[in-house]
Amino acid sequence: MAACRLLTRDSAAQLLSNIDTVLTDCDGVLWQGTEALPGAAKTIAKLREMGKRIFFVTNNSTKSRLSYVEKLKNLGFEANEEEVYGTAYIAALYLKNIAKVTGKVYMVGNKEMAKELDLQGISYTGVGPDPIEGTVTDWKTLPLDPEVTTVLVGFDEHLSYMKMIKAASYLSNENVQFVATNTDERLPVGNGRVIPGTGCILAAVHTAADRDPVILGKPSKFMFEVIKERHDLDPNRTMMIGDKLTTDIMLGHNCGLTTLLVLSGVTSLEEARQMQASNSIEHQKCVPHYYLNNMGELGDIL
Amino acid sequence: MAACRLLTRDSAAQLLSNIDTVLTDCDGVLWQGTEALPGAAKTIAKLREMGKRIFFVTNNSTKSRLSYVEKLKNLGFEANEEEVYGTAYIAALYLKNIAKVTGKVYMVGNKEMAKELDLQGISYTGVGPDPIEGTVTDWKTLPLDPEVTTVLVGFDEHLSYMKMIKAASYLSNENVQFVATNTDERLPVGNGRVIPGTGCILAAVHTAADRDPVILGKPSKFMFEVIKERHDLDPNRTMMIGDKLTTDIMLGHNCGLTTLLVLSGVTSLEEARQMQASNSIEHQKCVPHYYLNNMGELGDIL
């Protein structure tokens, strides 16, 4: 059972000798918004020097792999496309290889998700603004695209009531598949502003459709299964670093990885301790093996 | 315990002799969209002839009292303003008399809700389109109106990501009150189209804000308490007619009323029977005392 221990210099040496692959979350671990977190790039470089393989795994669906590589490089992280797994890319893979989508995807999503669908040769519609017009009399006879076989929900800053009508109407056909990138609720940016996450957009569509989506992001094992298969990972020798208990840490437990929580993102040590004190099996899956204040500290003790 | 019995000519005579007030839902009971349901107006007229007092109680927040009276009259129902209780009006009453709002209300709502707030002398902002602009860099420093002390969520066909950011950001201040008209999920209109209800809009804001709102619509007792006090109702001599188990019928049970389900709206007899077969206390509160196919049938057997 994980015990939420502070990772010390001694325990880090011991731990890293048993690890050859590191999966790391991005928002709240490597950066906050558009700024790198102090020491994070240095830590990643040090892990590479030690011969560890690195994979960047994020639920954020607002960037294609190429855009992530660009952001990583701009913020001082060495990275290549094969190391980046975001839910825009993962959704395209899922639709192509698992759901085997024919016809068109109705996307409550964004341009970067569209890019990944393009690369997999999947047709779609719905990206961009779609403001509401007319009244309920018009809405109830709204034309639907007969080619749509799948609804995909990710981050969409252009969410509108019109999109909610369309998504829920497509989903009223039980043969239409329902897929979502992730359920992260919000990206706290401090100073009294709340940036709602995909989970809020999904909540609207989900409530309208009254159906459960397949969810691809962490803590779903799907993302890890893809990486594991492609890169031949051994879960016993893999560590997951993240800032969120219900996604990053639970993913680790779901896949048999060692987990390290950093406190530079959405989670306080108190919340982790509350999970630890709980008897619920779900909560126990949110308890990290180790914690540190931030990625910079990991570099310092390696 | 309610038993979901078919209301017959005999049991109707017996029932109505013990009732002097009838509360009736509107959508799915008196009308469907813009069309009156067959026989419903005649039934209301017959109940009036029998000396019953009538109140129209709806969770729909898209109309002010005056607009409801107009719609009722256009569809052949006799009605006056004092008989109509919708959540636009109820929300204005709550904000004025219970929440005692000072400052401004940030409204994820519509123009008819705004009219009711105007009548109570409450200031507000937020009504109408508010499309997203900029990027997360702009959103995290978005100006907020320091006068806002309350967030009110009702039906808003102009829901946008910008409104979600603003509502959740106002609500990150724990002194800001959070009020919602209702949680109805959808207005099914058949032919494969789904019209999302306020519950979908609220789900987005609720998930972003991570706080529970005060909910005013059925099955909350608030609406009935207002009517009861103003018109001196005796719950033991009051019947609630509705088409939805979790709002109309549960309201009836919450307030000690006799309940009649009509099957012309969102609920099938099978769903009512499932509630009846369940051991859950919550589900038992959704079992109507009686059912009929529609309001027209009630008129026929009276």
Same domain, A118 and A31: no
Same domain, B105 and B208: yes
Q: Does A179 reside within a domain?
A: yes
Q: Which helix (H) or strand (E) holds B260?
A: strand B258-262
Distance from A286 to chain B by nearest Cα, in Å?
Answer: 19
> What is the spatial distance between Cα B202 and Cα B208, in angstroms, rounded to a whole number?
10
Q: Are A106 and A148 in contact (CB under 8 A)?
A: yes
Predicted confidence (pLDDT) per residue in B223-267, tens digit: 999 999 999 999 999 999 999 999 999 999 999 999 999 999 999
* Mean predicted confidence (pLDDT) in B71-99: 97
Q: Enumerate the H helices of A105-239 as residue ranges.
A: 111-119, 136-139, 161-171, 198-209, 222-231
Residues 9-28 of B with CB under 8 A from A: none
Q: Would the pLDDT of B68 be above 80?
A: yes
Residues of A in contact with B164 (CB under 8 A): 159, 196, 200
pLDDT bin (cut points 50, 70, 90) of residue B217 is very high
pLDDT at B271: 97
Percent of chain A residues past pLDDT 90, beyond the cut: 95
In this complex, do B168 and A161 lie within 8 Å of one another by their Cβ atoms? no
Based on the structure, what is the number of domains in chain B? 2
Residues 27-66 of B with CB under 8 A from A: 33-34
B158 → closest Cβ in A132, A172, A207: A132
Query: Does residue B219 have a cis bond before it (omega within 30 degrees)?
Result: yes
**Any idea of the CA torsion for B270, B271, B274, B276, to the nearest 10 degrees?**
-100
Q: C-alpha distances in angstroms, A299 versus A13, A37, A47, A57, A80?
A: 12, 13, 8, 19, 21
- Expressed as residue numbers, the domain containing A194 is 89-215
Q: Does A76 reside within a domain?
A: no
Any chain A CB within 8 A of the CB of B213?
Answer: no
Q: Does A170 reside within a domain?
A: yes
Q: Does B74 reside within a domain?
A: no
Q: Are B266 and B190 in contact (CB under 8 A)?
A: no
Q: Which residue has the tokens 């949110």?
A: A286
Same domain, B110 and B207: yes
Could you tell me how many CB contacts below 8 A there are between chain A and chain B? 148
Same domain, B245 and B153: no
In this complex, do B208 and A196 lie within 8 Å of one another by their Cβ atoms? yes
pLDDT at B191: 82
Q: C-alpha distances in angstroms, A95 versus A113, A167, A229?
A: 12, 17, 17
Binding site residue list of A for substrate: 218
pLDDT bin (cut points 50, 70, 90) of residue B188 is low
Q: Would the pLDDT of B161 be above 80?
A: yes
In this complex, do B204 and A206 lie within 8 Å of one another by their Cβ atoms? no
Looking at B215, B236, B252, the residue that finishes a domain is B215
Same domain, A235 and A159: no
pLDDT at B176: 98
Q: Does A276 reside within a domain?
A: yes
pLDDT at B33: 83
Nearest to B197 by CA among B73, B24, B83, B28: B28
* Mean predicted confidence (pLDDT) in B191-203: 95
| B25 known member of a binding site | yes
Which of B10, B20, B27, B138 is flagged as catalytic?
Answer: B27
What is the domain-level CATH number for residue A47?
A: 3.40.50.1000
Residues of B in contact with A191 (CB under 8 A): 140-141
A25 is catalytic: yes
Segments in chain A below pLDDT 70: 188
In this complex, do A169 and B34 lie within 8 Å of one another by their Cβ atoms? no
Same domain, B211 and B223: no
Mean pLDDT, rounded, of chain B: 96
Same domain, B53 and B31: yes
> What is the spatial distance between Cα B156 and Cα B62, in angstroms, rounded to a whole number?
8
**Most A CBs within 10 Å, among B153, B164, B185, B187, to test the A interface:** B164
Looking at A215, A233, A263, the residue that finishes a domain is A215
The C-alpha R_g of chain A, in whole angstroms, comes to 20
In this complex, do A186 and B208 lie within 8 Å of one another by their Cβ atoms? yes
Q: Which residue has the tokens 């009935």?
A: B224
Same domain, A93 and A207: yes
> What is the spatial distance between Cα B114 and Cα B152, in angstroms, rounded to a whole number?
11
Residues 144-203 of A with CB under 8 A from B: 144, 156-161, 164-165, 168-169, 171-173, 185-187, 189-197, 199-201, 203
Residues of A in contact with B204 (CB under 8 A): 159, 196, 200-201, 203-204
